[in-house]
Structures are given as C-alpha cells and as structure tokens.
C-alpha cells in the first residue's frame, strides 16, 4: 500500500508541475470564501484515485474534491486524499503546497505520504516503521524550551467565527516562543514538524485529508499529536503536533477550544 501511495503521489505531482508552467490558463472555482479548487486539483485527485483503485478496487476513498463518491463505501481500508494542499499558494506561484495521502485501516492511521512537487521532497511513514524524507530517516527536533521553539500555524480563514478562539492562542504562542510561521499548507507544515524544521504546529477546523498523512509522519518521527478540543482530532481537526518535550507545554499554553 505504501508503494502505491508513493506512485499515486508522484503521478499527482507530475500533473501539478506541468500545470504550474501556465497557471494563468487554469480554470479556478471558489468553493467558498478563501477556498479555491482548480482543474489541477481535480485531475490530480483522479490520478491518485485511479492508481489506488487499479491496485485495490475494494478499498474506500475519502478525497477532498470528490468525497466518498468513488471506491468501496464500507471497506476497512480508507485512503484519505488531498491532491493539492495549498491551492491558493499554488495559484500565486508560492512554492509551498503538497500532495497528501493517508491510509486508514480499521479506523487506525497506518501509512502517510506527503509529496512536495516543487522540491520533489517525498515524506513517507508507516506505523512502527519510522519516517523518511527522500529515503533518509527523519526525527523531530530536540528543542526543549519554549523560548527556543519555532511554531507553525494556520489561520481559520474559512471559518471566521473561529477567529475568536484562535487569536488569543496565536498571541500567547507569539509572546512565548522564538517565532510563529503561517505558510498555508497544513500537510506540509506537519511534514516539517516530522523533519525537525518546525518544533510544533497547531491549527483549528482542519479536514481529515489535511492532516491524516501528517499525523503518521509526526508520530513515526518521534513526535506527538494532541487534540485541542474534545473528541477525535481527525474528526474535528483542532490539532497540535510537536516534539515530545514541547507537546504538553504548548497544549497548556494554547488551552482547549470551547472551554
């Protein structure tokens, strides 16, 4: 399954890279405020789904653009797909976007692949097998002190009402760490935590396809993932990922949504 995920991610990445040569000709549709979909998202997603279902016709699919409309509806195997995380960055030729593919088996995340087409960086992880970047083992950073930590985040621009919860969090982190970064692609930000480029990452109201692969990567790179509200993080998307030493202090600093 991991090899199929890698094959699918590279196929999608090739479509994205070709399209990046002539972005102005793309057809762009606004799904909602600050949320865009292009024909590239759709073509990349279909390439991923075709690759998966050719190998595993009985598996389920949960994809950003097509939902559960393809694949088996009640399979124990579910592929969670974001064909282009960071579409707005892509449309502005800002090279921070990625393909994200996670595999859930009997309700448990088992595999994660995140591929950045611009840099051809391939992040791969399987449960109990560790995490790699371009076939080299990666680990989360060794940062221990909040004052030294660089933290990634994402603004809840699609849910303005969530800003009331988010802004105090952002302020507390900005005041108590070495810095706060908002790059605009949660999947790639989680991969950066796994690779030690960020010491932590938090965001609210993300979707399963934004975070499924990244959760596996962070955990297999020695980091931790926590919920910032009640319930399962994959369902509500209020996520914190960090190094082992930073997870609890950051969770205490951020507090919990809705409390």
Mean pLDDT of 57-73: 95
Let me know if 38 is exposed, middle or buried by CB neighbors in 10 A (0-12, 13-18, 19+): buried
DSSP E strand boundaries for 106-175: 108-116, 121-126, 130-133, 136-137, 150-153
> How far is CA 207 from each of CA 57, 116, 140, 179, 230, rounded to the nearest angstrom?
24, 19, 23, 25, 16
Q: State residue 157's pLDDT score.
A: 75
**pLDDT tens sequence across 139-164:** 999 999 999 999 999 998 777 788 88
Mean pLDDT of 101-107: 98
How many Å apart are CA 192 and CA 152, to the nearest integer?
9
Tokens of 7: 């094959």
Q: State residue 21's pLDDT score.
A: 85
CATH class of 146-254: alpha beta
Quick check: 40 pLDDT over 70?
Answer: yes
| Residue 188, H or E segment | helix 186-194
How many Å apart are CA 18 and CA 141, to the nearest integer?
34
What's the pLDDT band for 258 if we cut at 50, 70, 90? Answer: low
How many Å apart are CA 195 and CA 8, to the nearest integer?
22
Let me know if 158 is exposed, middle or buried by CB neighbors in 10 A (0-12, 13-18, 19+): middle
Can you give the residue ranges of every domain in the chain?
Answer: 2-137, 146-254
**pLDDT tens sequence across 168-188:** 999 999 999 999 999 999 999
Quick check: 216 pLDDT over 70?
Answer: yes
33 vs 121, residue with greater confidence? 121
* 245 contacts 143 by C-beta, under 8 angstroms: yes
* 230 contacts 253 by C-beta, under 8 angstroms: no
Instruction: Determine the 3-state secondary structure of 78 from DSSP.
Output: strand
Helix pair 2-20, 39-55: axis angle to 10 deg: 160
How many Å apart are CA 47 and CA 93, to the nearest integer?
22
How many Å apart are CA 99 and CA 48, to the nearest integer?
10
Quick check: 233 pLDDT over 70?
Answer: yes
State the CATH architecture for 2-137.
2-Layer Sandwich (3.30)
């Amino acid at each position: 399954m991991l090899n199929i995920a890698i094959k699918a991610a590279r196929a999608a990445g090739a479509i994205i890279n070709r399209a990046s040569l002539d972005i102005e000709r793309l057809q762009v549709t606004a799904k909602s405020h600050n949320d865009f979909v292009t024909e590239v998202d759709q073509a990349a997603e279909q390439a991923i789904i075709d690759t998966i279902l050719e190998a595993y016709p009985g598996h389920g699919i949960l994809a950003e653009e097509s939902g559960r409309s393809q694949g088996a509806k009640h399979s124990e195997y579910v592929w969670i797909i974001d064909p282009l995380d960071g579409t707005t960055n892509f449309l502005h030729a800002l090279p921070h976007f990625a393909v994200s593919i996670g595999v859930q088996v009997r309700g448990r995340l088992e595999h994660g692949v995140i591929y950045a087409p611009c840099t051809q960086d391939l992040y791969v992880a399987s449960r109990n097998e560790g995490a790699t970047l371009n076939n080299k083992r990666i680990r989360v950073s060794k940062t221990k002190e909040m004052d030294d930590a660089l933290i990634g985040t994402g603004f809840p621009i699609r849910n303005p009402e969530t800003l009331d919860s988010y802004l105090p969090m952002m302020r507390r982190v900005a005041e108590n760490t070495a810095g706060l970064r908002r790059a605009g692609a949660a999947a790639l930000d989680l991969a950066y935590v796994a690779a030690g480029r960020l010491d932590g990452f938090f965001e609210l109201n993300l979707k399963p396809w934004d975070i499924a692969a990244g959760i596996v990567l962070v955990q297999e790179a020695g980091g931790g993932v926590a919920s910032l509200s009640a319930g399962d993080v994959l369902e509500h998307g209020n996520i914190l990922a960090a190094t082992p030493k930073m997870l609890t202090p950051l969770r205490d600093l951020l507090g919990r949504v809705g409390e």
